[in-house]
A = this chain, B = another copy of it.
Amino acid sequence: MTTQRLVLSLDAMGGDRAPAVVVAGIQLALMDHPGVHYLLYGDELQLGPLLEEVPAVAAVCTLRHTTERVSNEDKPSHTLRQGRKTSMWLAIQAVKDGEASGVVSAGNTGALMAMAKLMLRTLPGISRPAIATILPSRHGKVVMLDLGANSDCNAQNLVEFAIMGEAFARTVLGLATPSVGLLNIGAEDMKGNEAVRTASTLLKTSPLLIKFHGFVEGDDIGAGTVDVVVTDGFTGNIALKTAEGTAQLYASFLREAFGGSLLARLGYLLARPALTRVRNRTDPRRYNGAMLLGLNGVCVKSHGGTDKVGFANAIGVAASLVTHGFNDRIKQEFSELQTVGISPMVVVGS
């Protein structure tokens, strides 16, 4: 529940189903977050009629017209030069200018990251921001990052992700001392590539007060072996989508199995509440809304293919991060680290 009034800016043209999914998402979010006002950036020719249909949404929106939008095919570097009138750019700028407390976009991830880095800038001590999300695990929830912001990562990037992810788990999940694992292809020291091996050594020997578990493997994500799973953006993105795909596959096998015999269908009817509970616990839409960690501002990336339920969830993530004052906490913690002479940069050397 959002109690205080806050302003979020939305890239109304980002994602596969924009702008309809954005308006429908706001409508769904009205109940859980009644105090939010939205700055809606996009084409008024498309947005106008959509808003007219839902007066309750129109009442909480300020429409800011632009015809330009970032496409999924646009290179991030191109959008930085040519994209200053796009709905994505303008939505981020609203946060930079202090008009909005956070921004949500379902558009091109690379462009969103590039623009957000340029306009919002990274926090002191962080060289590259990362995308983080919360996933279901056997023991509750697990934070995972990076999910696609950085295709190639070195050891220093991974150490920074570990620090940010740990702070995220403490602040948003409310854990006292979250454990952190580095995703690898085995638990032994010599496994994996240079970056993960060096990052592991750094995290083991650093003076940081992080509960570092060591290497974890792909199946440790769902097992909940650690509270925070750290990896590079290439591997993280593929692991996340593989998990989603496997959950969908499992669900489709279940549907087929229960459609089989009359007995199975009767069993389905009796078991439906239980199955619905499972579906809800594994519904990717419930976990939609990944945060760009390490920036001076709340910036949430929605899955490009999500529906209104997923987009409403992304709005909820942004609202809750603003309400928790997450970025102020991270900033304070990094500054405390530096006060006592511990900086991620120092930790990982030059």
Contacts and interface: CB of A to CB of B under 8 A. Distances in A.
A258 B274 contact: yes
Contacts of A137: 249
Interface stretch (A59-67, A181-189, A291-299): A181-189
A245 interface: yes
Contact of A278 (B219, B254, B273): B254
A277 to B, nearest CB: 5
Given A185-B234, A234-B192, A238-B183, A247 B245 contact: no
Number of chain A interface residues as a range? 35 or more
A122 to B, nearest CB: 21
Given A249-B138, A264-B271, A152 B220 contact: no
A242 B222 CA distance: 8
A106 to B, nearest CB: 14
B257 A278 contact: yes
A141 B206 CA distance: 45
Interface string A256-299: 01101101101111111111011001100000000000000000
A337 interface: no
B218 A243 contact: yes
Interface in A98-131: 109-110
Contacts of A75: 190
A248 B253 CA distance: 14
A228 to B, nearest CB: 16
Given A218-B244, A258-B274, 13 more contacts: A110-B191, A185-B237, A192-B234, A218-B239, A219-B248, A231-B238, A239-B239, A242-B242, A243-B243, A253-B282, A257-B271, A260-B277, A270-B271
